[in-house]
Amino acid sequence: MPVTSRRARAQGRTTTLTRLAAGVVAVAVVGTLGACSADGTSDGSYAPDVAYEDAPAPEGWRDVPTDPQEEYDDSPEQPFQDVRTSPLSTFASDVDTASYSNLRRQLRQGVEPEGVRIEELVNYFDYDYPTPDPSAEDPFTVTTQVADAPWAPGHQLAMIGVQATAAKPTSRGNNVVFLLDVSGSMDEPNKLPLLADSFELLVEQLDEDDTVSIVTYAGSEQVLADSVPGDRRGELVEILRDLRAGGSTGGARGLETAYELATKNFVEGGNNRVVLATDGDFNVGPSTPEQLTDLIEEHARSGVYISVLGFGMGNLKDNTMEAIADHGNGNYAYIDTLDEARKVLVDEFDSTMFVVAQDLKVQVELNPATVAQYRLLGYDNRRLEDEEFDDDTKDAGDVGAGHAVTAFYELVPAGGEASADDLDYQDVDAGDSTDFLTVHVRYKHPGQNESTEVVFPADAGTYTTRPSSDFRFASAVVEFALAVTRSEHAEGADPARARERAQAALGEDPYGLRSEFVTLVGTYQELTG
């Protein structure tokens, strides 16, 4: 099937954040995202967001670190691979976006960025990929485009885009359990108050066919609502507005209770989901990412999915929340403003709630006749062993209605002549194909146990000297991320060049998200001098 040209988890560790000044204590919420109505449409205007707490504008960050509080996964980035000895690259799909909004929060606070995951920065934005035909057998399309790498003369970039159908897989109702952290660590203006306001937005998307349960947890868990019809919004909003923070954090027991309620109220053929809202700071009972993922993996096989929403700063446990989402067949977003909540819970309601492709894996086969070396940019804790691609028992990422998964490979072109590989027992014949690579995608239809594989070759025609605006913008996001993370494999990455390229590739930008990125790059430049 021809392609049209367009768009092993490492062990977690505690990392140390550096902060600007003692007076910078909470996020300054700026209304830069486009305001949207309850039905998800834009009115073309920009509305100021709620200021949960003011903070002075950052001027630079300190070199002296403060006590470690926030925790991020420390997965090593992938080095270049030789195509002759490692022709396959395999990874699980990832539609999380938490890393981008957390980066935005950190830069606005003058906090040196931590937990930057390239794929989540890229996948935060929409790209104009073709959508599947309603009668298509597979619920997604795959497109590729290859162009020169801006930060590495002589190298190329391959952009791979997997676009899911926007059609919801079911017309049955939502069975949703709100699992809300009301422990003492949530007693901050940009935590529990923002959480309550965010869930009010979610309540507005529900109707009489939906049921809502609400579980809170601190030192102990409490069921505040059990299968309340979604059209009883006043009752649900009143519960949210009465939330108060205090006590320790027994999140594991809260998860157990939430899953029990979701199972008890299970809607066959519907959307059954736990929505967890927390700063991830569990301190009673099972609390490490490993302990919590063991807890939820069994529940994940029951057909109950999970969405994880992170809130707050200072003690954010990003690694814990990402692990819960990854192992619980879910997605993870970080809510730093009410507009971000609107983006995730209103504008992207269907893609957040309804899975159309389960356990979606991507395996890219590189052609040694055209590519000498390659490396996958990002997906550092989503990489899989090559043999796990065909293993239907291996869990991978789920893709929601309308979601897109974008990945970039940096390619070192082949020199034209076969190089000596010094192998005594293996002879690699590059052949004469002009393809760059072939994309293999394996997925399951929701609720099924056996996967389906589809194949998309990227031939010589995918290379262009005039890449699309989507390619140019997304590659600018990648270059900025490489610079922020100080990638040892991309020393030429330049935030100034990334900002210039992004500014020239804004496109229509109806909600101002791309323009906001350009501003954030400028903030980073100011902070780093």
Token pair listed for 218:
């601190």
**Terminus-to-terminus CA distance in the chain, angstroms?**
49
- Dihedrals φ, ψ of 376, to 5°? -80, 130
Token pair listed for 298:
């069994």
Same-domain pairing of 180 and 148? no
Strands (DSSP E) contained in 289-366 are 305-311, 330-335, 355-366
pLDDT at position 287 is 59
Element (H, E) at 499: helix 495-503
Residue 327: inside a domain: yes
Rounded to whole angstroms, the Cα distance separating 164 from 186 reads 35
Which residue among 301, 322, 353 closes a domain?
A: 353
More confident residue, 260 or 12: 260
Same-domain pairing of 383 and 469? yes
Which residue among 302, 337, 353 closes a domain?
A: 353
Tell me the three-class secondary structure of 135-199, residue by residue.
CCCCCEEEEEEEEECCCCCCCEEEEEEEEECCCCCCCCCEEEEEEEECCHHHCCCCCHHHHHHHH
Residue 300 — pLDDT band, cuts 50, 70, 90? confident
The pTM score is 0.85
Residue type for position 424: D
Residue with tokens 């885009």: 161
Average pLDDT, the chain: 85
Rounded to whole angstroms, the Cα distance separating 275 from 1 reads 38
Residue 30 — pLDDT band, cuts 50, 70, 90? very low
State what percent of residues in the chain have pLDDT above 70: 83
pLDDT at position 34 is 37
Rounded to whole angstroms, the Cα distance separating 300 from 293 reads 10
- Collect all residues with Cβ–Cβ distance below 8 Å to 527 and sequence separation of at least 6: 58, 59, 60, 61, 107, 110
Rounded to whole angstroms, the Cα distance separating 283 from 29 reads 29
Secondary structure (3-state) at 126 = coil
Q: Report angle CA 251, 255, 261 to the nearest 5 degrees.
A: 145
Residue 121: inside a domain: yes
Instruction: Kindly state the DSSP code that residue 68 receives in the 8-state scheme.
Output: -
Rounded to whole angstroms, the Cα distance separating 255 from 266 reads 16
Secondary structure (3-state) at 367 = coil
Same-domain pairing of 314 and 207? yes
Same-domain pairing of 105 and 178? no
Rounded to whole angstroms, the Cα distance separating 314 from 70 reads 6
Secondary structure (3-state) at 357 = strand
Residue 522: inside a domain: yes
Number of H helices, E strands in the chain: 12, 20
Residue with tokens 């262009």: 464
Q: Tell me how many domains the chain contains.
A: 2
More confident residue, 240 or 433: 240
Token pair listed for 64:
């002296």
**Each residue of 303-348: pLDDT tens digit?**
899 999 999 887 888 988 898 898 888 999 999 999 999 999 999 9
Residue type for position 499: R
Using DSSP bridges, classify how beta strands 397-400 and 355-366 pair: parallel, antiparallel or unpaired. Answer: antiparallel
**Each residue of 133-158: pLDDT tens digit?**
988 999 999 999 999 999 999 999 99
Examine the pLDDT at 64 and tell me if it is beyond 50: no
Provide the b/e sequence for 6-28 (b: ≥16 CB within 10 Å): bbebeebeebebebbeeebbbbb
DSSP characters for 52-66? SS--PPP----SS--
Residue type for position 341: A
Q: What is the largest CA-CA distance in the chain?
A: 73
Same-domain pairing of 229 and 299? yes
Which residue among 310, 337, 353 closes a domain?
A: 353
**Each residue of 409-427: pLDDT tens digit?**
999 999 844 444 454 444 5
Same-domain pairing of 224 and 322? yes
Closest CA to 40 of 503, 304, 401, 446: 401
Rounded to whole angstroms, the Cα distance separating 233 from 350 reads 19
pLDDT at position 369 is 96
Residue 66: inside a domain: no
Residue 11: inside a domain: no
Using DSSP bridges, classify how beta strands 271-278 and 305-311 pair: parallel, antiparallel or unpaired. Answer: parallel
Residue 41 — pLDDT band, cuts 50, 70, 90? very low
- Collect all residues with Cβ–Cβ distance below 8 Å to 105 and sequence separation of at least 6: 27, 111, 313, 334, 336
Inter-residue contact 464 to 146 (CB < 8 Å): yes
Same-domain pairing of 456 and 333? no
Residue 240: inside a domain: yes
Tell me which residue range forms the domain holding 307: 174-353
Residue 264: inside a domain: yes
Inter-residue contact 79 to 375 (CB < 8 Å): yes
CATH number, residue 239: 3.40.50.410
Segment 62-72 shows an average pLDDT of: 59
Same-domain pairing of 162 and 184? no
Helices 251-264 and 289-300, packing angle to 10 deg: 10
Examine the pLDDT at 455 and tell me if it is beyond 90: yes
Secondary structure (3-state) at 257 = helix
Tally of residues, the chain: 529
Segment 193-212 shows an average pLDDT of: 96
